[in-house]
Amino acid sequence: MVLAQLFYSLAMATLLLFTYAIEIPATLNETTGILSVERIGKNYYTVIAHDNEPLLLTCVDHLGGYSRCLTDEETSRYIGQNVVASWTRIWLAPLVETNRLVILKSADTDIISRQQTLARIQHSRTGLL
């Protein structure tokens, strides 16, 4: 029982460490392509098809976190459209790295802004405590 509690405490400390370590750099990767959404297991990925190469992006901020980037309304409105995605690689845990969507724009509007992403990360941090 003590070993299980120790393991749980270590796992939670690691989760907090990696969640608080997430930083969005000033310079981001940028990909332009056609927007779609794909569900893999329990996770939803925002997919940008560029030169027939799909780029899978997530909005998850910690292991087991909510991965979906777009609401149902946003998905139905923008799916199939040409978009510009700004993203970065983040570590969720030791040996677990993913592509984190930061900014998503269509021709006429910002779908997801940097400020929204930073607010979501902050919300994830406070929710873990």
| Tens of pLDDT, residues 3-20 | 778 766 666 665 555 555
Domains held by the chain: number: 1
Average pLDDT over residues 63-88: 91
CATH number of the domain that residue 26 is part of: 2.40.50
65-73: Cβ within 8 A, 24+ apart: 65/124, 67/42, 67/43, 68/44, 69/44, 69/101, 69/104, 69/112, 70/37, 70/46, 70/104, 70/111, 70/112
pLDDT digits (tens, 9 = 90+) for 25-60: 899 999 999 999 999 998 899 999 998 889 999 998
Q: Lowest mean pLDDT: which of 60-64, 78-82, 94-98, 125-129?
A: 125-129
pLDDT at 90: 83
* Domain of 85, in residue numbers: 2-128
